[in-house]
Structure 1
Amino acid sequence: MLNASLSPSSTELVINVLTMVLNEGKPLDRAYSHHFSGLKLAPSEQARITTVAGDLLRRLNLYCYLADMAPADIERLGSRLLNAWHMFHGLELPKLPYTLTIEQNDFDQRLAQAKLDLPLFDGCPEWLDELGTAQMGSLWPAERAALAMAPQRFLRTNLLKCQPEELQQKLAREGVQTQRVDGVDTALQVISDSALFRTDSFKAGLFEQQDAGSQQVAAAVNAKPGMRVIDACAGAGGKTLSIAAQMQGKGRLLAMDVEQWKLDSLKQRARRGGAHNIETRLIASSKTIKRLKLTADRVLLDVPCSGLGVLKRNPDAKWRDTPERLPVLVQLQKDILQSYSRMVKVDGILIYATCSIMPQENRQQVDAFLAANPHFSFMDDETISVAESGFDGFYLARMQRITE
């Protein structure tokens, strides 16, 4: 967290970013892009702004309670919210020309009351706390608290170009300090405030920024050189690129998605990373899937999900989503799992994954699929806990096709 208060200009930027997210419904990354565009901000100051905005969104209801305001009032009462944030963290208030103050006694009373309401103190909206309690029971409070923490920064070493030790040394020479991550061979954790994407190492394609939990999901594919592998919900391709490195650039790796712009982004990243065995294909209709029936040694289905395992990285989702969205996603996951599994050949392996920690999207989906599809057998599964790992939260399960 910060060791000094925000400047007046940075405080205004935080308020403007939050206004776009909360009042206009824009994703946080787009709000950053919009407000940072054209500004000559030092990387350190940009990092300070994103740190404060992210923390405010991770525990928005707490900070609004301390400021005695509603989230919808951010544009009008933004300075009051920022003052509450600075008071909570024991920082001097920002020196704004116009500001709405908070009485210290009132703040102290509200803070003491908030500490007695743990879901509020963890920044958890009521709908999410009810869902987490129903789905995870006694495991939920620890996950809820972990999701209120700031995310760590992790890199995935591009094994097509270098090894982790080599990357660590190159980054150190560029002023980026990292450390190895236990249990994730390709991961480095960034432990310094550094502009990663301005480094020569990034421009040379030596690494991608990717959460360590996400790297574990990709590692579970266990693709070998010469295999035919399909990443059927590839998105912008973080896991696709990791799989390409597993394959040492040998064999056929097909990246598929329903949105062309994501595949175009993947192509650019693949060129930078030297992943030349990746082919992209737009899923235009169900015929795209049917043509690939029984052809793949591995199929990764990183399906659309609630994203409830990655809320510390995408905190705005807590205030945009509703519980009504989950049943729609669960049905979509079921449909994708049933349809796309046809691409796995006999003895091939299907890997089902989400960035959620809710059983309804995870093991319950797998169990329902296996009950309806006896030609697949269960191999293993894992839930990557936010609280236990310090990573983002994910789920993965592996199933093998035993007959047509």
Structure 2
Amino acid sequence: MLNSPLSPSSTELVINVLDMVLSEGKPLDRAYSHHFSGLQLAPSEQARITVVAGDILRRLNLYCYLSDVKFEEMSRMGTRLLNVWHLFHELDLPKMQYALQVDEKEYFDRLEKAKAQPALWDGCPEWLDTMGQAQLGEAWAKERAALSTQPKRYLRVNLLKCTREELGKKLRNEQVQTKEVEGVDTALEVTSDSALFRTESFKKGWFEQQDAGSQLVATAVDAKPGMRVIDACAGAGGKTLSIASQMQGKGRLLAMDVEQWKLDSLKQRARRANAHNVETRIIASSKTIKRLKLSADRVLLDVPCSGLGVLKRNPDAKWRDTPERLPVLVELQKHILQSYSRMVKVGGILIYATCSIMPEENRDQIDAFLAENEHFKFIEDENISVADSGFDGFYLAKLERISE
């Protein structure tokens, strides 16, 4: 967190970012891009702005309660919320022109009341707290608290170009401090406030920014050189590139998605990473899947999901989402699992993954699939807990096809 107050111009940027997210429904990353575009901000000041905006969104209902500001009032009353944020973190108030003042007695009264409401204190909307308690029971409280914390920054070393040790040394020479992550052989945690994407290491393709939990999912694919591997919900390809590294550039790695722009982005990233065995293919219809029937040694299904395991990294999502979205996603997951599993050959492995911590999207899906598909057998699964790991929350399950 900060050790000094925001500058007047930075407070204005934070309010504008929050207003775009809350009033216009824009994703947080797009709001940053819109408001930072064309500005000559120092990397350190840009980082301070994202720290504050991110923290406010992670516990938005708490800060709104403490400041008596409604979500939709951000453009008009955001200065009071920013003053409350600084008070909460025991910082001097920022020097904002025309700022709305805070009644400190009322603030401290509200603070004591908030401490007695765990869901509010953790910045959890009521619908999500109800869902979390229903699905995770007593385990929900620690996950809810963990999701309100600031995410750490992790890198994945590109083993096609360097080792983890070489990357760490190279980054130190570029004034980026890192440390190795226990239990994740490809990961480094960034411990300094550094502009990663301006480094020569990044430009040369030595690393990608990727959460350590996400790296564990890719590692579970266990792809070997010479295999035929399909990443069937590849998106922009973070896990695809990790799998390419496992394969040492040998074999065929097919990255598929329903959106061409994501695959176009993946192509650029693959070129920078020297991942020459990556081939992209748009999923135009069910025929695309049928043509690949029983063809792959490994199929990764990183399916569309609620994203409830990555809320500390994407905190704006919980203020846009509703409980009605989950049943729609669950049905889509069932369809993808049933249809795309056809691509796994006999003896091949299917890896199902989500960035959710809700059993309905995770083990419940696997149990339902196995009950209807005797051609597969369960190998193992893993819940990557936000609270226990410090990473984002993920689920993965590995199934083997034992017959046609």
Structure 2 residue matching 1:313: 3-state secondary structure: coil
TM-score (norm 1): 1.00
Structure 1 residue matching 2:315: 3-state secondary structure: coil
Structure 1 residue matching 2:349: 3-state secondary structure: strand
Which moves more between the two structures, 92-101 or 124-133?
A: 92-101
Structure 2 residue matching 1:316: 3-state secondary structure: helix
Instruction: Give 1:369 shift.
Output: 0.3
Aligned residue-pair number: 404
Instruction: Give 1:103 shift.
Output: 1.1
Which moves more between the two structures, 67-76 or 243-252?
A: 67-76
2:35 partner letter = H
Instruction: Give 1:75 shift.
Output: 1.0
- Matching residue of 2:296: 296
- Matching residue of 2:317: 317
Report whether the alignment pairs 1:91 with 2:119: no
Structure 2 residue matching 1:154: 3-state secondary structure: strand
Matched ranges for 1:159-174 at <5 A: 159-174=159-174
In 2, the alpha carbon distance for the partners of 1:34 and 1:276 equals 33
In 2, the alpha carbon distance for the partners of 1:386 and 1:235 equals 23
Report whether the alignment pairs 1:268 with 2:268: yes
Instruction: Give 1:391 shift.
Output: 0.2
In 2, the alpha carbon distance for the partners of 1:29 and 1:167 equals 27
1:242 partner letter = S
In 2, the alpha carbon distance for the partners of 1:69 and 1:169 equals 47
Instruction: Give 1:104 shift.
Output: 1.0
1:189 partner letter = E
Instruction: Give 1:69 shift.
Output: 1.5
- Matching residue of 2:78: 78
Structure 2 residue matching 1:3: 3-state secondary structure: coil
- Matching residue of 2:102: 102
* CA RMSD in angstroms, aligned pairs only: 0.3
In 1, the alpha carbon distance for the partners of 2:84 and 2:362 equals 38
- Matching residue of 2:353: 353
In 2, the alpha carbon distance for the partners of 1:73 and 1:104 equals 20
- Matching residue of 1:221: 221
- Matching residue of 1:156: 156
In 1, the alpha carbon distance for the partners of 2:96 and 2:188 equals 39
- Matching residue of 1:396: 396
Report whether the alignment pairs 1:371 with 2:366: no
Instruction: Give 1:346 shift.
Output: 0.1
Structure 2 residue matching 1:96: 3-state secondary structure: coil
Deviations 1:145-198 (A, max 9, x none): 000000000000000000000100000000000000010000000000000000
Deviations 1:364-398 (A, max 9, x none): 00000000001000000000000000000000000
Give the % identical residues.
Answer: 76
Deviations 1:28-55 (A, max 9, x none): 0000000000000000000000000000
- Matching residue of 1:45: 45
Report whether the alignment pairs 1:242 with 2:242: yes
- Matching residue of 1:286: 286
- Matching residue of 1:209: 209
- Matching residue of 1:122: 122
In 1, the alpha carbon distance for the partners of 2:104 and 2:362 equals 46
Q: Which runs of 4+ in 1 moved over 2 A?
A: none
- Matching residue of 2:328: 328
2:294 partner letter = L
- Matching residue of 1:192: 192
- Matching residue of 1:36: 36
TM-score (norm 2): 1.00
Structure 2 residue matching 1:349: 3-state secondary structure: strand
1:237 partner letter = G
- Matching residue of 1:65: 65
List gaps (5 residues or longer) in structure 1. Answer: none
In 2, the alpha carbon distance for the partners of 1:103 and 1:175 equals 43
